């Protein structure tokens, strides 16, 4: 074999990873990333993300839908599920083709505030927290935290709380030991050194009066009452959480990346929503699902295990007299969720041939789960083939991978819950570094490639 023949044979027969790293970052990608940053800065909780999405959808002529409402072919609707999850949809010409669904989640790991959270200890006021989703507890100490959420008062009135985002706002934090006195703590393992009950938010240190018992706590209550009209009892019917304070930022001198809180999974939710809005030419029924509770197992009325999405599909089918089982059988879902990007600093947990890479383009996962593929829907090779061919014919740079080394750990997405309803589903999303930390990292090029991928899926025949 000549050298030239060998080169050709290698090129023809071997798999070569694509990369966006050396492709120039154009203005379109840069501007899309700016809009995305604006979205995540405004949408740090699922409620805030739903409000953002509803406003955009209303602006674009989508109508609020409720079960029992009239529908029409070509109609544009959204279903706001309790302000915590959302389903935007358009009715196509021929429902029997099935629906095209892109489903992302809009909840992120954080520190929820307990229902009876407020206490004073030795002249400090604290809030007790109960972490939400998978966090590495040490990462949440000694960083500025903001308080977001809703308090429902006895009369049903809601107070919207947001403290710590405006630069003039105070912030909260969880303290940690100084190294000088951390001898004993440093001997512990990462898993035991920080406990859930130890994650208490520092809330105040100024007493209301020198005569007061628990005067610091009372002072904080007075301030909360002045600002929000709430009392200590109202915490019982509140959903408050602490999230990293401040805005997302360009990362790297080349501004190729974005650091911020909650890329998982808003970095897929934003491309899902914008691709949905930019694919109105599609004559098929298209759905964009923004789900809640993925980080805690997709349970409950706003999680993807709830029947609401399928009730909605059934209702659409019944309304137009189409067989709902056939529609679901012919439907496809891209479960839009992030993947663990290969991190050269921690290479030992990844299997390089089957990892996903930052700047490697939109990432496909045939399966998630843990150990022997436990807890995954495992997309069929026929579906992978279909999506692969779609991406390739649209010039999308994509990659395929799994979480990490086989016995290293595991994870899941909403894919299996959608697939359990007889809808072909595959995981597609953006690779993330430092996933679930207060400062996650993504690549702008991957973000835009994911938008392009979702858009060509909605527009595909």
337 forms part of the interface with Mn ion (CB under 5 A) = yes
The interface region with Mn ion, picked from 315-323, 336-344, 437-445, 449-457 by CB under 5 A, is 336-344
What residue ranges in 43-98 does DSSP mark as E strands? Answer: 63-64, 76-81, 85-90
3-state helix/strand/coil string of 124-166: EEEEEEEEECCCCHHHHCCCCEEEEEEEECCCCCEEEEEECCC
What's the min distance (Å) between Cβ of 104 and Mn ion? 8
- Which residues make Cβ contacts (< 8 Å) with residue 31, sequence separation at least 6? none
What's the min distance (Å) between Cβ of 223 and Mn ion? 34
427 forms part of the interface with Mn ion (CB under 5 A) = no
Total residues belonging to the chain: 461
265 forms part of the interface with Mn ion (CB under 5 A) = yes
The interface region with Mn ion, picked from 34-42, 165-173, 215-223, 261-269 by CB under 5 A, is 261-269
Q: How far is CA 20 from CA 17, 113, 224, 259, 449, in A?
A: 10, 41, 49, 19, 9
3-state helix/strand/coil string of 220-281: HHHHHHHHHCCCHHHHHHEEEEEEECCCCEEECCCCCEEEECCHHHHHHHHHHHHHHHCCCC
- Cα gap 241→260, rounded to integer Å: 17
The interface region with Mn ion, picked from 10-18, 262-270, 339-347, 392-400 by CB under 5 A, is 262-270
Determine which residue in the list 107, 120, 264, 343 makes contact with Mn ion, applying CB under 5 A: 264
Neighbours of 239 (CB within 10 A): 17
What's the min distance (Å) between Cβ of 338 and Mn ion? 5
Number of residues that bind Mn ion (CB under 5 A): 3
The interface region with Mn ion, picked from 11-19, 193-201, 279-287, 330-338 by CB under 5 A, is 330-338
What's the min distance (Å) between Cβ of 46 and Mn ion? 12
Nearer to Mn ion by C-beta: 50 or 459?
Answer: 50
Please identify the residue of the shown chain whose CB is closest to the bound Mn ion: 265
What's the min distance (Å) between Cβ of 254 and Mn ion? 27
What's the min distance (Å) between Cβ of 339 and Mn ion? 9
424 forms part of the interface with Mn ion (CB under 5 A) = no
Neighbours of 360 (CB within 10 A): 26
440 forms part of the interface with Mn ion (CB under 5 A) = no
Of residues 290-329, those binding Mn ion (CB under 5 A): none
What's the min distance (Å) between Cβ of 288 and Mn ion? 16
Q: How far is CA 417 from CA 71, 85, 420, 454, in A?
A: 26, 15, 5, 20
Give the binding site for Mn ion (CB under 5 A): 264-265, 337
């Amino acid at each position: 074999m000549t050298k030239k023949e060998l080169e050709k044979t290698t090129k023809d027969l071997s798999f070569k990873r694509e990369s966006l790293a050396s492709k120039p970052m154009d203005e379109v990608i840069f501007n899309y990333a700016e809009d995305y940053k604006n979205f995540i800065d405004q949408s740090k909780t699922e409620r805030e993300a739903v409000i953002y999405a509803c406003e955009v959808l209303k602006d674009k002529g989508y109508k609020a839908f409720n079960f029992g409402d009239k529908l029409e072919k070509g109609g544009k609707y959204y279903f706001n599920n309790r302000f915590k999850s959302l389903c935007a949809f358009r009715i196509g010409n021929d429902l029997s083709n099935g629906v095209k669904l892109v489903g992302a989640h809009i909840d992120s790991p954080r520190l929820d505030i307990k229902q009876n959270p407020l206490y004073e200890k030795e002249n400090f006021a604290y809030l007790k927290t109960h972490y939400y989703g998978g966090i590495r507890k040490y990462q949440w100490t000694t960083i500025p935290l903001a308080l977001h959420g809703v308090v429902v008062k006895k009369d049903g009135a809601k107070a919207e709380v947001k403290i710590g985002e405006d630069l003039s706002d105070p912030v909260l934090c969880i303290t940690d030991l100084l190294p000088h006195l951390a001898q004993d703590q440093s001997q512990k393992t990462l898993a035991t050194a920080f406990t859930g009950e130890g994650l208490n938010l520092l809330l105040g240190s100024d007493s209301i009066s020198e005569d007061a018992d628990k005067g610091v706590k009372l002072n904080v209550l007075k301030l909360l009452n002045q600002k929000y009209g709430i009392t200590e009892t109202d915490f019982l019917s509140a959903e408050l959480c602490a999230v990293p304070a401040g805005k997302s930022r360009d990362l790297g001198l080349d501004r190729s990346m974005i650091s911020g809180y909650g890329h998982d999974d808003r970095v897929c939710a934003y491309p899902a929503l914008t691709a949905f809005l930019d694919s109105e030419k599609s004559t098929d029924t298209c759905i964009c699902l923004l789900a809640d509770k993925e980080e805690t197992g997709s349970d409950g009325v706003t999680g993807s295990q709830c029947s609401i999405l399928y009730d909605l599909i059934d209702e659409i089918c019944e309304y137009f007299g189409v067989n709902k089982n056939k529609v679901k059988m012919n439907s496809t879902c891209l479960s839009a969720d992030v993947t663990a990007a290969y991190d050269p600093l921690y290479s030992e947990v990844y299997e390089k041939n089957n990892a996903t890479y930052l700047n490697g383009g939109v990432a496909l996962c045939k399966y998630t789960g843990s150990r022997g593929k436990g807890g995954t829907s495992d997309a069929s090779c026929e579906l992978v083939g279909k999506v692969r061919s779609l991406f390739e014919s649209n010039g999308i740079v994509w990659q395929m991978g799994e979480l990490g080394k086989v016995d290293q750990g595991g994870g899941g997405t909403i894919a299996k819950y959608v697939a359990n309803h007889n809808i072909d589903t595959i995981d597609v999303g953006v690779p993330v570094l430092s996933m679930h930390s207060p400062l996650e990292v993504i690549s702008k090029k991957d973000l835009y490639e994911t938008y392009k991928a979702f858009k060509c899926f909605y527009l595909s025949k």
